[in-house]
């Protein structure tokens, strides 16, 4: 190949020269500029178990079951050849809180989808009004029209904090929930709670700053902290006491961090709990706020499961905002709180829409400006998710045409979650070597496995944690996909598994689970 | 206030003690934990002019014009009291590429909205088929059904890379565009191009790594680099030569960075250009690829305006993938390229939906795994945006029922952009002290202002760049909102302004602009 060929299109002598250098380079090829040694090293520290090896394996099984012939095509080139005679007919995805996914098929709320479909295609109520009225209830059309007037096209960027009219209704929802005022300017709509959490952590934390996280926790937190080079400061939730925390445990974690010279900047609480499914008492929450006050720590309250409470008379959901604001004034007006909410959970389960919000309480105004600036770099949250937030905080009024169906659908979803959780917890508690706290909320159970010593040794041989081996073996044997406790963190020497309460065939599910579990315990006893 | 009051709900002596400490703290109040001195310092370095002071002022004027009475209510507490006698009747938002916003009202593509509304509310084709057929063309219903089969509920999380079936159609689109194969596994759907860019930069760059960026540039790049503590390495686009770059200029920037010890990791190119509106020649693109090859630099090609080309016979869009793959094998198979695309621009202008994709070419497989892992932490891109990508890469076939209307709508949008750009450029070139390159594509013009010395001095007095003063004065006088060139970067001593070609009343727009400009030049001559 001649140099002339290479300089095609390059007019200047200098480039000709460098093209000659490039031939030289081609003879001594260097590796790629981007490789594991040259990329941002904090990326390598990020772990995210919920969609890790297990999920990839489950995907493969699903693809395999969907296409009984031998795999082919460019998209399956990375799929290992697998035996098609699987001992199950479908994969039960009990690993992620994704209510509307295929196989689970939680029905979307009709009210939501009707309104959003109208907003997506306003011709429906503008040009085809007569036909639309045969399909849609009148209150749905009216609300869509009113939202259309506020938002305009769902294809336009909105204010970077989200549509003001929606933020005002979020503020009203918070006020009615808590009995304390909320300011729409302190509310940011987001692309789901995850986007809000990672934005806030990235603003709040300097490298080396400490952030207290519960163990077990949702791995978004450890993943984000690893990326930010911030220090996760674990505090253990007490399985014996409903997965709660107390002031002493928290204080111990703070003191240990301080002794190491780590500034304790923030404290994350997930309530109701993921993966624990537990709901905090008022007393535990007050202890947390006290600690944040005493130590000058920012409280980050992940409250995305606030609608998923099974028995509010026993253990109601109370927001940290309400707890904080009910405390003495010097605490109420000083402890910095950011609370996250989402449309992905609750009874809507609209994960794919990516919608949520966070509210900032007692946050310095100059810092709020920075939060706004960073929101503006990402332009705006998905409008469809913003509309979801509006529908979540402002459901159809009780006297509206749409209310009965909405009530029926939301009650069904709520009761399903509750009954499945109760049934599963009851069942887990009957299994040998397994115990499970009462299900209180969220959409998960986190039963403990008394792992046999032989299983621990076998796992070590396989280079895995024992609960990871358990989860992988469970998937291989039953098609049930559940995440090992080590993906969330757990007290050393304990083993857990997280399952969602979303699977419709709960009895079949527990039957398959029981069979596997007993065989597993027998095998390693 | 007694200690007893404070320890409400706290059972343990230890907490009682610390509550006493908290009283002490309340007497010597400390500042907030989060303040400008304690947050992540790189946040403070982030600047984002497109939605800065000018946009905030324009927002205020809009609100003011919308509500003629004196401002009131909690949401306007931060709004300065403004005189209501503004010298204009509406704000012309020529500052952001947001085609469907109120006031601009670019009509969404009917085909898109019809399909998405059906997917949002599948009952339309499942329960109300007869009525639906009176509203929707048959091919629209068929495509919605087919997408529904592939995706399932739009409320479910998808694969973190995006729906495989959609990624396959993106690959097909790229193959047909370029004539070279594309792998669906190397394609990631994203929440708009911005999300893709910031994800890739955050993975690729270590602190201190250099990233070459064009000047002028879209401020997402400098904002993201500031956040990442990476080093922006500016290279100037030559206004005299159609805002193009050449090998020597690039090489100079590389050499300077190397001399300072900054590793040159990546090179960003925006083509067609934002804010320049220029489209690169094949020769310029080849020079860029050569440089990346010689220096081992990753090429990041921001190609979100690829559909916005006004005269393809003069200056067609060519993708960097095509240029790269048409080069000698040792270059074609080694230069690392990531190309970004979006549904926010083009003829769809669906910004609020947040959809886009990037394709990785020649990227190390281990690095690809990291990209996938980081995508999985954010769960999945908005499904509605994913559907938008599908509709962008796979428009209605020419023989379909929906094609004529789609063609009519897209042609109108395309021609509007083109005619407005031509008209504006022609007009700008007639104004005293203003010159503008020919409009070639994207949706912007970036005219140069020969800033009078007196204006520069006046701006200095006001503590502003002269072009920022120009933009603010323009807004005050005319309601036209345009971004100063300094927000994008420009050669020192030059002054520009970026205007979008999205405003429907172009003639009125240029009239108002002309009046202001002449008065400005007169005032400071």
Q: Show me where the domains of chain B are located.
A: 49-105+412-524, 157-393
The minimum CA-CA distance between A262 and chain B, rounded to whole Å, is 14
* Confidence category of residue A105, pLDDT binned at 50, 70, 90: confident
Supply the DSSP string of A419-482, one letter for each residue.
Answer: HHHHHHHHHHHHSTTEE-PPP-BTTEE--EE---HHHHHHHHHTTS-HHHHHHHHHHHHH-EE-
Asked if the model's pLDDT at residue A81 lies above 80, the reply is: no
Weakest-pLDDT range from A46-60, A94-108, A198-212, B389-403: A46-60
**Fold match flag (A59-105+413-524 vs A181-308+316-376):** no
Cβ count within 10 A of residue A474 = 24
Q: Which residue of B has its CA nearest to A219?
A: B377
Inter-chain residue contact A12 with B334, CB threshold 8 Å: no
Query: What CA–CA distances, in Å, run from A361 to A168, A211, A286, B502?
Result: 16, 18, 16, 39
* Confidence category of residue A74, pLDDT binned at 50, 70, 90: very low
- With beta carbons under 8 A apart, name residues in chain A contacting B77: 185
Mutation for B interface: A7, A120, A128, most B CBs within 10 A: A120
Cβ count within 10 A of residue B411 = 11
Mapped onto helix, strand or coil, the DSSP state of residue A232 is strand
pLDDT of residue A212: 97
Locus of tokens 């770059």 = B245
Cα–Cα dist A149/A153, whole Å: 9
Under CATH, which number does the domain B49-105+412-524 receive? 3.90.1150.10
Q: Which of B78, B192, B352 sits opposite A156 (nearest CB)?
A: B352
Q: Which of A21, A22, A383 sits opposite B353 (nearest CB)?
A: A383
Cα–Cα dist A95/A107, whole Å: 19
The minimum CA-CA distance between A432 and chain B, rounded to whole Å, is 35
* Confidence category of residue A26, pLDDT binned at 50, 70, 90: very low
* Confidence category of residue A472, pLDDT binned at 50, 70, 90: very high
What pLDDT, in 10s, does the model give residues B177-223? 999 999 999 999 999 999 999 999 999 999 999 999 999 999 899 99
Inter-chain residue contact B363 with A32, CB threshold 8 Å: yes
User: What residues contact B294, with CB distance under 8 A and at least 6 apart?
Assistant: A18, A19, A21, A22, A25
Q: Which of B9, B75, B362 sits opposite A184 (nearest CB)?
A: B75
Tokens standing for residue A212: 């207290």
What pLDDT, in 10s, does the model give residues A138-176? 999 999 999 999 999 999 999 999 999 999 999 999 999
The C-alpha torsion from B141 through B144 and B146 to B148, rounded to 10°, is -140
pLDDT of residue B29: 61
- Radius of gyration of chain B from its Cα atoms, rounded to whole angstroms: 26
Asked if the model's pLDDT at residue A184 lies above 80, the reply is: yes
Asked if the model's pLDDT at residue A80 lies above 70, the reply is: no
Tokens standing for residue B388: 């938008």
What pLDDT, in 10s, does the model give residues B382-410? 999 999 999 999 999 999 999 999 999 99
How many residues does this entry show for chain B? Answer: 525
Query: What is the H or E stretch that residue B449 is in?
Result: strand B448-449
Residue A270 bridge partners (DSSP): A302
Asked if the model's pLDDT at residue A395 lies above 80, the reply is: yes
Inter-chain residue contact A34 with B298, CB threshold 8 Å: yes
Chain centre distance of CA B168: 25
Strand positions, DSSP E, B459-500: 480-481, 483-484, 495-500
Cα–Cα dist A410/A305, whole Å: 14
User: What residues contact B428, with CB distance under 8 A and at least 6 apart?
Assistant: B434, B435, B436, B445, B447
What pLDDT, in 10s, does the model give residues A228-268? 999 999 999 999 998 998 888 999 999 999 999 999 999 99
Average pLDDT over residues B288-299: 96
User: What residues contact A251, with CB distance under 8 A and at least 6 apart?
Assistant: A291, B14, B18
Average pLDDT over residues A208-230: 94
- Relative to beta strand A356-361, strand A187-190 is antiparallel
Cβ count within 10 A of residue A501 = 27
Mutation for B interface: A106, A155, A171, A348, most B CBs within 10 A: A155
- ipTM comes to 0.90
Asked if the model's pLDDT at residue B89 lies above 60, the reply is: yes
Asked if the model's pLDDT at residue A77 lies above 60, the reply is: no
* Confidence category of residue A84, pLDDT binned at 50, 70, 90: low
Cβ atoms of A215 and A489 closer than 8 Å: yes
- How many pairs of residues across A and B have Cβ atoms under 8 Å apart? 382
pLDDT of residue A78: 41
Under CATH, which number does the domain A181-308+316-376 receive? 3.40.640.10
Inter-chain residue contact A100 with B5, CB threshold 8 Å: no
Inter-chain residue contact B18 with A290, CB threshold 8 Å: yes
Mapped onto helix, strand or coil, the DSSP state of residue B212 is strand
pLDDT of residue A10: 32
Mutation for A interface: B379, B386, B405, most A CBs within 10 A: B379
- With beta carbons under 8 A apart, name residues in chain A contacting B74: 183-185
- pTM given for the model: 0.91
Average pLDDT over chain A, rounded to an integer: 89
What pLDDT, in 10s, does the model give residues B241-287? 989 988 889 999 999 999 999 999 999 999 999 999 889 999 999 99
Q: Which of B34, B102, B121 sits opposite A113 (nearest CB)?
A: B121
% of chain B surpassing 70 pLDDT: 91
Q: Which residue of B has its CA nearest to A367?
A: B35
What pLDDT, in 10s, does the model give residues B18-72? 444 444 444 456 789 999 999 999 999 998 866 678 888 888 898 888 875 544 4
What pLDDT, in 10s, does the model give residues B435-467? 999 888 889 999 999 999 999 999 999 999 999
What pLDDT, in 10s, does the model give residues A429-438? 999 999 999 8
Inter-chain residue contact A51 with B160, CB threshold 8 Å: yes
Tokens standing for residue B343: 């549904």
Q: Which of B43, B114, B296 sits opposite A370 (nearest CB)?
A: B43
Tokens standing for residue A496: 């857990």
Average pLDDT over residues B476-505: 92
Average pLDDT over chain B, rounded to an integer: 89
As assigned by CATH, the class of the B157-393 domain is alpha beta
Inter-chain residue contact A152 with B101, CB threshold 8 Å: yes
Average pLDDT over residues B466-472: 96
Inter-chain residue contact B35 with A158, CB threshold 8 Å: no
As assigned by CATH, the class of the A59-105+413-524 domain is alpha beta
């Amino acid at each position: 190949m001649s140099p002339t060929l290479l300089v095609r299109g390059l007019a200047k002598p200098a480039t000709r020269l460098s093209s000659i250098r490039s031939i030289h380079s081609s003879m001594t090829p260097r590796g790629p500029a981007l490789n594991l040694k040259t990329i941002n090293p904090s990326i390598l520290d990020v772990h995210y178990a919920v969609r890790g090896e297990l999920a990839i394996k489950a995907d493969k099984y699903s693809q395999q079951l969907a296409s009984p012939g031998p795999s082919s095509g460019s998209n399956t080139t990375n799929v290992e050849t697998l035996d098609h005679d699987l001992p199950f007919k479908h994969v039960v995805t009990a690993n992620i809180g994704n209510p509307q996914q295929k196989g689970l098929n939680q029905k979307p709320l009709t009210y939501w989808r009707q309104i959003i479909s109208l907003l997506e295609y306003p011709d429906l109520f503008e040009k085809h009004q007569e036909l639309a009225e045969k399909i849609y209830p009148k209150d749905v059309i009216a609300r869509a029209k009113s939202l259309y007037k506020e938002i305009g096209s769902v294809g336009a960027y909105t204010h970077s904090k989200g549509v003001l009219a929606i933020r005002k209704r979020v503020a009203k929802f918070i006020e009615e929930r808590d009995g304390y005022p909320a300011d729409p300017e302190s509310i940011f709509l987001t692309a789901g709670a995850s986007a809000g959490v990672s934005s806030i952590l990235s603003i709040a934390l300097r490298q080396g700053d400490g952030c207290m996280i519960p163990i077990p926790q949702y791995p978004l937190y450890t993943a984000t902290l690893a990326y930010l080079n911030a220090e996760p400061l674990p505090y253990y939730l007490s399985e014996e006491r409903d997965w709660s925390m107390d002031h002493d445990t928290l204080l111990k974690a703070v003191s240990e961090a301080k002794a190491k010279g780590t500034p304790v900047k923030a404290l994350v609480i997930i309530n109701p709990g993921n993966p624990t499914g537990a709901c905090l008492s008022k007393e535990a929450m007050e202890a947390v706020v006290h600690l944040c006050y005493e130590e000058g720590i920012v409280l980050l309250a992940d409250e995305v499961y606030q609608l998923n409470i099974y028995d509010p008379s026993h253990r109601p959901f109370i927001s940290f905002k309400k707890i904080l604001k009910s405390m003495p004034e010097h605490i109420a007006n000083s402890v910095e709180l950011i609370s996250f909410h989402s449309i992905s959970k609750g009874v809507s389960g609209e994960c794919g829409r990516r919608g949520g919000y966070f509210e900032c309480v007692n946050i310095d105004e100059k810092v709020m400006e920075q939060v706004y600036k960073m929101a503006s770099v990402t332009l705006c949250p998905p409008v469809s998710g913003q509309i979801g937030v509006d529908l979540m905080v402002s459901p159809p009024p009780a006297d509206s045409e749409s209310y009965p169906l909405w009530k029926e659908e939301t009650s069904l979803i709520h009761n399903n979650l509750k009954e499945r959780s109760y049934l599963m917890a009851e069942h887990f508690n009957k299994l040998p070597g397994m115990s499970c706290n009462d299900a209180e909320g969220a959409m998960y159970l986190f039963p403990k496995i008394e792992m046999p010593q032989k299983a621990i040794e076998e796992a070590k041989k396989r280079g895995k944690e024992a609960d990871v081996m358990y989860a992988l073996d469970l998937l291989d044997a039953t098609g049930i996909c559940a995440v090992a406790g080590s993906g969330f963190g757990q007290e050393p020497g304990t083993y857990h598994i997280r399952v969602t309460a979303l699977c419709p065939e709960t009895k079949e599910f527990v039957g398959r689970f029981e069979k596997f579990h007993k065989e597993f315990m027998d095998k390693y006893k």
